[in-house]
Amino acid sequence: MKIALCQINPTIGDICGNIRLISTGILRAKEAGAQLAVFPEMSLCGYPPRDLLMKPDFLDACEKAVQELADNLPAGMAAVVGLPVRNGAHAGKPLFNSLAVLEDGRVTHWVHKRLLPTYDVFDEYRWFEPGPMQEPVTLFGHRVGLTICEDMWNDAEVFPRPIYHANPVAELVAEGAEFIINASASPFTLGKPDFRRKLLGALAKKHQVPIFYCNQVGGNDDLVFDGRSFAVDAQGDLLREAKAFQEDLLLVDAHETPARHLELDDARENMRDLFDALVLGLRDYMVKCGFKQVVLGLSGGIDSALCAALSVAALGAENVRGMAMPSRFSSDHSICDARELAHRLGIAFDIIPIEPAHAGMEDMLTRVFAGRAPDLTEENIQARLRGVILMAMSNKFGSMLVTTGNKSELAVGYCTLYGDMCGGLALISDVPKTLVWDLSRWINDSPDSPLRQSHGGPVIPANSIDKVPSAELRPNQTDQDSLPPYADLDAIVERYVERDQPVEQIVAETQLDEAVVRRIVRLIDLAEYKRRQAAPGIKVTGRAFGSGRRMPIAQRFR
């Protein structure tokens, strides 16, 4: 039995567009000789649909669409498609997260997701009822165990503390499943692809059944899906894997022998994955929201340089515009480095000094500020003037403004509301400063770097990477005037934000000064009100600011 794992990039809510993607996938699967075409979780409506699930007409459109697909299914083919389905019972949540099995012009089976994640960015209990225990489905004479994403993530031998009582894979195997298919929408984070392979490999070996995994690809708001659909045999060996961060069709055999097992080069992951995730996340956010061009401020520093480089990789140089907005405190090298970056990338570049507006604002506020020494207020005015200029460019030309702040700055509040936080997408808001440097060096130096290949050499000026970080909002300012070295800061942020470690444990693990750790933790807590108003970012770490970290603003726990 040949199975096509159809790794598609659906757009949330674009039911007609997603029908076309699925229909094309079914035809490609048939041409490749497959009997069964498998599509990702919620492939008909896109994942995650969130509160679109509360709209009756949205659900009606999904129901109509799945019947349309069944009506047009080629003879001799079956397909597995994901969509939300109404729960007809009188009690419980109103919907199931389901798979429809299409055969002979109709839906022959419904399979409902049993394990509903409610952690990190997931909140499926908000909408869905857990599905009942189900038997394998018979397709072309084979007993097939159908599962949906999280249904695979609960084995006691893999997870020290499983969070669900049921184990759908074990139950399906006990009921005679010859192999397991998992339709998934598993978002990317650094290191997760390898964990998925090990998880499904361990499950396959434990239960002595092949497992076929079909994952969504593409960017949807803050989430990026890397695809990488794959197959493992009954010994847990990886047979083959689909492309990363792009649509693909992977043809597998339900009873393929282990002689073809695949050895992956794990060196590709991490920096290349981070690059591809950010590029795909930006490109899909732009396309799916209807934008074609971006504008961003270029300070000559590393953060804006990296954002510009990623924007060119995502959209092409002709669709990127950089703006330098020097003040009286800007150094000469800032403008030179910004201009050099724009030249290397081949993007449009403009210089609009903020000094006239800055002087005018100071004059306007002289009377009401009388008797008060200059402080952060005057620094923030400069940042907000730049925000006004960038938003004006966005409004006038219909470009999306990309904000350039990194995770380290966002964590401790070293960003200005209605200033450098203005924009439509916070591209690197989940990338710590130390990783910003690492990725920038990889873009410049790695033979695997698409930008180095396309531009014939490094694209980010060395000075932007090597210079001491500074916001340049007052004379001789550097970030380390008030922050610890970024390696130390990032170590604190990672432990406090991603692992929820208490201060005492952070101090013990890092050997950093306790007063420094407590100060940084306090800054992280105090900056929650800023992050609540930030543009959405692209999640690439285990825990990002945003929907996966829901902290109260008005709180006093320290």
Residue 366 · residue 397 · CB < 8 Å: no
- Residue 313 is which amino acid? A
Name which of 325, 341, 301, 471 is nearest 391 in CA terms.
Answer: 325
What number of other Cβ atoms are within 10 A of residue 312's Cβ? 24
CB burial class (10 A; 0-12, 13-18, 19+) of residue 267? exposed
Name which of 167, 244, 152, 166 is nearest 200 in CA terms.
Answer: 152
Alpha helices, H only, 449-513: 450-455, 462-466, 486-493, 503-510
What crossing angle do the helices spanning 486-493 and 503-510 adopt, rounded to 10°?
Answer: 140
Catalytic residue, chosen from 6, 45, 62, 149, is: 149
Residue 149: active-site member: yes
Residue 429 · residue 403 · CB < 8 Å: yes
Query: Would you give the DSSP letter of residue 196?
Result: H
- Four-residue CA torsion sign, 176, 181, 182, 188: positive
Catalytic residue, chosen from 6, 41, 214, 241, is: 41
* Cα–Cα distance for residue pair 145/168, rounded to 1 Å: 9
Catalytic residue, chosen from 30, 113, 433, 530, is: 113
**DSSP for 11-25?**
-TT-HHHHHHHHHHH
Query: Would you give the DSSP letter of residue 358?
Result: H
Q: What are phi and psi of 497, to 5 degrees?
A: -85, -45
Which own/partner pairs from 23-28 qualify as long-range (CB within 8 Å, at least 24 positions apart)? Answer: 23/69, 23/72, 25/249, 26/69, 26/73, 26/74, 26/77, 26/79, 27/74, 28/4, 28/249
Beta bridge partners of 125: none
Query: Would you give the DSSP letter of residue 546?
Result: B
Residue 396: active-site member: no
Residue 40 · residue 216 · CB < 8 Å: yes
3-state secondary structure of 309: helix
Query: Would you give the DSSP letter of residue 38?
Result: E
The two three-digit tokens of residue 438, written as one number: 């690492």
* Cα–Cα distance for residue pair 540/196, rounded to 1 Å: 16
CB burial class (10 A; 0-12, 13-18, 19+) of residue 13? middle
Residue 113: active-site member: yes
Residue 19: CA count within 13 A, CB half-sphere: 16
Q: Would you please indicate which residues are annotated as catalytic (active-site) residues? A: 41, 113, 149
